[in-house]
Chain A
Amino acid sequence: MRRSTQLVGASQFIMPHIANDLYQSDEARWSALMSSAQSGNESDYRLLLSELSAVIIRYLHSRIGEHDFIEDCVQESLIALHKARHTYDPARRFRPWMFAIVKHKAIDMLRHDRGRKDLVETGQTPLDTVAEPLDDDASGQLMGGLAPDDRQAITLTKIIGLSNAEAAGQLSISESAMKVRVHRAIHRLKRLMEADVA
């Protein structure tokens, strides 16, 4: 069952109608599984959450990049989906409901949590990390779509985990300017994420 979701990304360049069929079959299956979970079916729910966790990881990796906090973000998203499961109406589409929650959680975590990339292990400095070459696969499509200043601000404070003062010191700007930059960067990432079709 999970295979079909993994195939969608690759096959859409080859046979759009097959990708569309797989997309529709995932949509229908998830809707049915959630409907069953709403009536208390534990095994269907377990299956649904397992499939969704793989989908969410892939989505966040492709949009934000492969960062340590993605695992936390996936878990927070699953907890949120669990708490919100009564708000899913089986008559409506599943994906928009799910991704509205996932996107909200991702932005919420970026806004309120501080990352914790272990630079000692890699032997890098924070500025090395922000200066890494950025292709869409490594940094995420949406992070790649941010202006360099915004991307630096998010990477230093939210992914590496520096305080605003430390990040400001790295970039030789004032702490208040750093706060503004981080706030603006997250706002822009939120807008990009809202506009993104999952």
Chain B
Amino acid sequence: MKTTDELISQLASELEPVKPVKDTSARSLVWLGLSTVFALLAIHWYGPIRPGALQQLLTHPRFMLEILFGGATIAVLALAGFRSAIPAASAPRLAFVGLVMLALWLASYLVGIVSPALEPSMLGKREHCVFETFLYGLPPAVLGIVVCLRLYPLNPGVMALRIGLAAGLIPALYMQIACMYDPVHALTLHMLPGILLGLGCAGLVWLLQRRQRN
């Protein structure tokens, strides 16, 4: 076994210049922007969005509020995810706020079952929205997790959960505009795959980390 002095000599002799990571907020915003553009392009490429959906945003304030609140939730989760890749920059409170916002967002659809923001309708239904949500969230999730793993997340599973949730919820959010509007449909076929993507990412990273350790 090396002594600590020998280890220090070895680490010093192996030293290479590195570029310090300055701003995780900017990094998370860039990732958020790229992921959103990717999800929008993919959804529009696969099929047309619900007719009149953009007008509904302007004419139905509660629908607009649902979308804006969902966007804010995703941004908070993404920021918390990227911050958790830097030691001591992790913001448990921010992540907690993100999870509370997610719970409120989900609750708004539960309330919508009784009192929907829009009249539920089959108009604009996409046959494979559940798979689309999952698939369009996957590449951004992988990108975000790979970027964060190159930093130094002290808890990679937690980081992957936050990034995976943010990535999965981006297409889930846009599906409210692109696919039919019905709170039950939104909860089960849009939001659920987005959340499962986050949980799946966390589980996979946790398993990989455990395997690496063994």
A105 to chain B, nearest CB (A): 9
State whether B12 touches A49 (Cβ < 8 A). Answer: yes
State whether A42 touches B15 (Cβ < 8 A). Answer: yes
B188 to chain A, nearest CB (A): 35
Complex CA distance for A89 and B152, rounded to whole angstroms: 13
Point out the residue from B2, B5, B13, B86 that lies within 8 Å of A42, measured CB to CB. B13
Point out the residue from A43, A53, A80, A91 that lies within 8 Å of B22, measured CB to CB. A91
Q: Is A169 an interface residue (CB 8 A)?
A: no
Q: Is B123 an interface residue (CB 8 A)?
A: no
Complex CA distance for A109 and B16, rounded to whole angstroms: 27
Point out the residue from A38, A75, A80, A97 that lies within 8 Å of B4, measured CB to CB. A75
B51 to chain A, nearest CB (A): 48
State whether A46 touches B18 (Cβ < 8 A). Answer: no
**Contact partners of B151 in chain A: CB under 8 A:** 86-87
Classify the interface of chain B: helix, strand, loop or mixed.
Answer: loop
Encode contact with A along B165-202: 1 for CB under 8 Å, 0 otherwise.
00000000000000000000000000000000000000
Point out the residue from B7, B17, B22 that lies within 8 Å of A89, measured CB to CB. B22
Given known A78-B4, A79-B11, A87-B151, contact A100–B88 (CB-CB < 8 A): yes
State whether A45 touches B11 (Cβ < 8 A). Answer: yes
**Contact partners of B89 in chain A: CB under 8 A:** 92
A84 to chain B, nearest CB (A): 4
Q: Is A66 an interface residue (CB 8 A)?
A: no
Given known A78-B8, A84-B152, A87-B152, contact A37–B15 (CB-CB < 8 A): yes
Chain A residue with the shortest CB-CB distance to B152:
A84
Complex CA distance for A186 and B86, rounded to whole angstroms: 23
B21 to chain A, nearest CB (A): 5
Encode contact with A along B1-32: 1 for CB under 8 Å, 0 otherwise.
01011011101111111111110000000000
Residue with the greatest number of chain B CB neighbours at <10 A, chosen from A46, A91, A99: A46
State whether B15 touches A40 (Cβ < 8 A). Answer: yes
Complex CA distance for A59 and B9, rounded to whole angstroms: 22
Encode contact with B along A35-60: 1 for CB under 8 Å, 0 otherwise.
10111111101100110010000000
**Contact partners of A86 in chain B: CB under 8 A:** 18-21, 151-152
Given known A38-B18, A53-B4, A78-B4, contact A87–B87 (CB-CB < 8 A): yes
State whether A83 touches B4 (Cβ < 8 A). Answer: no
**Contact partners of B16 in chain A: CB under 8 A:** 40
Complex CA distance for A112 and B4, rounded to whole angstroms: 21
State whether B12 touches A42 (Cβ < 8 A). Answer: yes
Q: Is B128 an interface residue (CB 8 A)?
A: no
State whether A38 touches B87 (Cβ < 8 A). Answer: no
Complex CA distance for A82 and B13, rounded to whole angstroms: 12
State whether B17 touches A101 (Cβ < 8 A). Answer: no
**Contact partners of B15 in chain A: CB under 8 A:** 37, 40-42, 45
6 intermolecular pairs with C-beta atoms under 8 Å apart: A40-B17, A53-B8, A83-B152, A86-B18, A87-B152, A88-B20
Using a CB–CB cutoff of 8 Å, the interface residues on chain B facing chain A are 2, 4-5, 7-9, 11-22, 85-90, 151-152, 154, 213
